[in-house]
Amino acid sequence: MRILLSNDDGYYAPGLAALAAALEGLGEISVFAPERNRSGASNSLTLDRPLYLRRASNGFGYVSGTPTDCVHLAVTGVLEQHPDIIVSGINFGPNMGDDTLYSGTVAAAMEGYLFGIPAIAFSQVHKGWGEIDAAARVVRAVVQQVLAQGLPAQPFLLNVNIPNRADADTLPRRVTHLGRRHASEPVIQQTNPRGEPIYWIGPAGDAREAGEGTDFHATASGCVSITPLQVDLTDHASRGDWASRLAGA
């Protein structure tokens, strides 16, 4: 079993170290992660400059690019064989609802999925690396369960969010769908030492669609949320309506 690990918090992140330790013994592990924090990088590829791959003292590979770059580089240029599964995380904070569109953690897993490789992204619900050991036990349990059932012919993409609790590995696991957030808070304007205005992206908004069945509801109820994702963004329900509107155009 060949397992590729990545993240978006950087190769030095405690979540990545915990991820690697959690999966030790389940297969041959390779690690390709960004050289620095690339949270919010989404599915971006670096096309305007070359990428560099270096090795940390613990053997982790780190890349001068995005999480997507890391997996792309590993799968298409460095590893002799494709991994059997890709695992991304453990992220510093949640990736639920609309967050998944921005998440570098999910993007790393999704890049593997696009290459036909099963992939799972893991995140903690609250920032701070609280109870990371318990989260790592959840990771191992979920990956073991997936592997024990045999990897299906068609790839899958799972997004897992884990409450920061010491008993996280004993919590129920719920298969969920993505909730929705309010729009982000306004940008924060500051002034740099030269007197020039600078801007920080504001924090994410509160959940607005967090009813039963959503990832928000599951984690708030003390459960581990597991959301199967797909890449097809087509609004299939409205295709007929748009065909009528644009007829003869």
Tens of pLDDT, residue by residue over 41-69, are: 988 999 999 999 999 999 999 999 999 99
Q: CATH number of the domain at 2-179+208-245, out of 3.40.605.10, 3.40.1210.10, 3.40.190.10, 3.30.565.10?
A: 3.40.1210.10
Helix extents (H) in 12-51: 14-22
Paired sense of beta strands 28-34 and 61-63, if any = parallel
- pLDDT (tens digit per residue) in 71-118: 999 999 999 999 999 999 999 999 999 999 999 999 999 999 999 999
Contacts of 87 (CB under 8 A, 6+ apart): 3, 4, 5, 6, 19, 23, 109, 119, 120, 121, 122, 139, 143
Provide the sign of the torsion angle of the four alpha carbons 103, 109, 111, 114, taken in this order.
negative
Residue 248: predicted pLDDT: 67
